Amino acid sequence: MRVLRLTWRQRSARIALAVLAVVAVLAVAGGAFAPDDPLAQHPADMLQGPSAAHLLGTDYLGRDVLSRLIAGTGLSIAGALEAVAAAMLLGVIPGVASVWLGRTVEWTTQRAADTLMIMPFTVFAIAVVGALGNGMHQAMLALGVLFAPLYFRVTRAAALGLKQAQYVEAAELMGASRWWILRTHVWGKILPTIAVTTAQTVGQALLVVSSLTFLGLGVQPPAPTWGGMLASDLGYLAQQPWAPLIPGAAIMITVGALNLLADAIRDSGAPTADELGKPPRAEGTAPALVTEDREPLNSPETQGRSANRATPSEDPELPSEDHANAAATVARTHIEQPEEAEHRVTTG
C-alpha cells in the first residue's frame, strides 16, 4: 500500500515502530526478560532506591520495580488492544453500513453513536463492571463500546464521500454488487483512515486503561500494570518521590510512539503539495464532511460537489481527496478527543 510505503519513509515513523516493536516484544515475552519474579515480596527491602539487585528499586511490598514494569507491559497493552479491537468491530462495520444500508440503518446507527458519545468513560466502565463483574475483559469491553463512535464517525465520513464518487456510481450502474464495491473501491480507501484512528486510539486506550486500573477497575492486584503501579507509587511519595516517573515514562513513551506513528500515517495519507495545487479540492469538500449528516445526500449541492471531485478520485490507487478529508476529520476529532477523555476520567 502506498500509504504504508510513504509512512515507512518517514524517520519519525521508523523510530515509533522501533519503540513499539520493543514494547510488543516485552508484551509478548515480558516474563522471560524480567530479572526477578514480579510478584515476589521482600517486605524487608521495601521502598528501596535503585541498586545492583533492583535496578529501578523496589515498591511498597519490596517487589522489583523493573520486573513489574516489564511483566506489566503485557496486561497494559493487551487491555488497550482489546478495547480498540472491540471499538473497531463496533464502529467500522456500522460506519460502513450506515452509508450503504439505507436510511433506517443510517438513522439508527447515528443516534446510537450519539448516545454513546455522551456517556462518560469512567462512569460507564464502572457501571458495566458493576453489572458484569470486575474483570479486565468487562472493563475493556466497556471502553471499546465507548470508543466505537469515534470509529463509526471516521469510517462513515470516509465512506460517505466514496459513495457518490463517479466510479462507484458507475460500478453500481454496471450491476456490481454492494459487496464487490465495498471490497474493490471502498475498503482500500478507508483503511488508512482507520489506521490513523487506531494508532491514536490505542494511545488513548492505554491511558484510560491505566486510569481504570488506577481506580481499581479491571486488573486486580497483585498483577502488575503500568497504571496500577503509578497509582500505588503515589501513596509513597515521601519515601520515593521519583517512583511514579518510572511507570509514567513507560506509558508516555508508548503513547508518544503511537502518536508519532499516527502523525506519520496521516501525513502519508494527506495529499502532497503537488496535488494540493489542483483547485477544486481546497474549497468546500472538508466542510461537506462535517455537515454531511444534516444534508440530504442527493441535494444538488452535494451532487455538484461530487461532480467537482470526480477528476482526482478517478484512479482508485491514488490518494484521493476523500482521504485528505477523512484525515482532516480524524485530525479534528483527535484534537477534541484527548481533552474529552481526560475530562471523562477526572469526573469519575
Partner 1 sequence: MPKFRSPSTSEPSRRSPFEGADADSPRHDSLPALKALDRRSFLGLSLGAGATLALTACGGQSTSAAKSDGGTLKWGWALPTSWDPVTSSAGWDVHALSLVYAALTKLDPKGVAVPALAKSWKYNDDGTVVTFTLRSGETFSDGSPIDATAVKKSLERGRDYEKSLVAAQLIGVEKVTALDEHTIELRLAAPDFQIPALLAGKTGMIVNPKVLEKDAASLSTKPAGAGPYTLVSYVENSKAVLRRNPAYWDAGQIKTENFELHPLPEPSTVVAALQSGQYNVAQIPGSQVKAAKAAGLEVQVIPSMVVAVLDVHIGKKPFTDPDVALALKYAIDREELLKTAAFGYGEVTRQPFPSGYAGHDDALDKLFPYDPEKAKELLAKAGYADGLKITLSAQKAEGVPELIQAQLKKVGITATLEAIPSDQATQIVYIQRSKALYVDQFAGRDSATQAFQVLFGEEGLMNPGRTTSSELEKALDVVRRTPLDAPEYPEVLQKATGIAVRTMPNVFLYTVPRILARNPKVSEIPAYTVVQRFEGVTVS
Q: Which is nearer to partner 1, 118 or 173 (CB)?
A: 118
Q: Which is nearer to partner 1, 3 or 128 (CB)?
A: 128
Residue holding cell 515480596?
A: 41
Nearest-Å Rg of the Cα atoms of the chain is 23
CB of 91 to partner 1, least distance (A): 23
CB of 117 to partner 1, least distance (A): 14
Q: Which is nearer to partner 1, 49 or 277 (CB)?
A: 49
> How far apart are alpha carbons 195 and 265 in whole angstroms?
8
CB of 220 to partner 1, least distance (A): 5
Q: Which is nearer to partner 1, 220 or 299 (CB)?
A: 220
Q: Which is nearer to partner 1, 14 or 42 (CB)?
A: 42
CB of 90 to partner 1, least distance (A): 23
CB of 214 to partner 1, least distance (A): 11
Residue 232: which of 215, 254, 219 has the closest Cα?
A: 215
Q: How many CA atoms lie within 13 A of 335 on its CB side?
A: 5
CB of 46 to partner 1, least distance (A): 6
Side chain identity at 298, as an amino acid letter?
N
Residue 186: which of 298, 105, 98, 110 has the closest Cα?
A: 98
Torsion sign (Cα): 321, 268, 332, 159 = positive
Interface ranges with partner 1 (CB under 8 A): 39, 41, 43, 46, 60-62, 120, 123, 130, 134, 216, 220-222, 232, 234-239, 343, 346-347
Q: Which is nearer to partner 1, 256 or 348 (CB)?
A: 348
> How far apart are alpha carbons 88 and 83 in whole angstroms?
9
**229-232: long-range contacts, CB 8 A cutoff, minimum separation 24:** 229/59, 229/65, 229/68, 229/69, 229/72, 232/59, 232/60
CB of 116 to partner 1, least distance (A): 15
Q: Burial code of 60-91, b = ≥16 C-beta within 10 A, e = fewer?
A: bbbbbbbbbbbbbbbbbbbbbbbbbebbbebb
Q: Which is nearer to partner 1, 39 or 191 (CB)?
A: 39
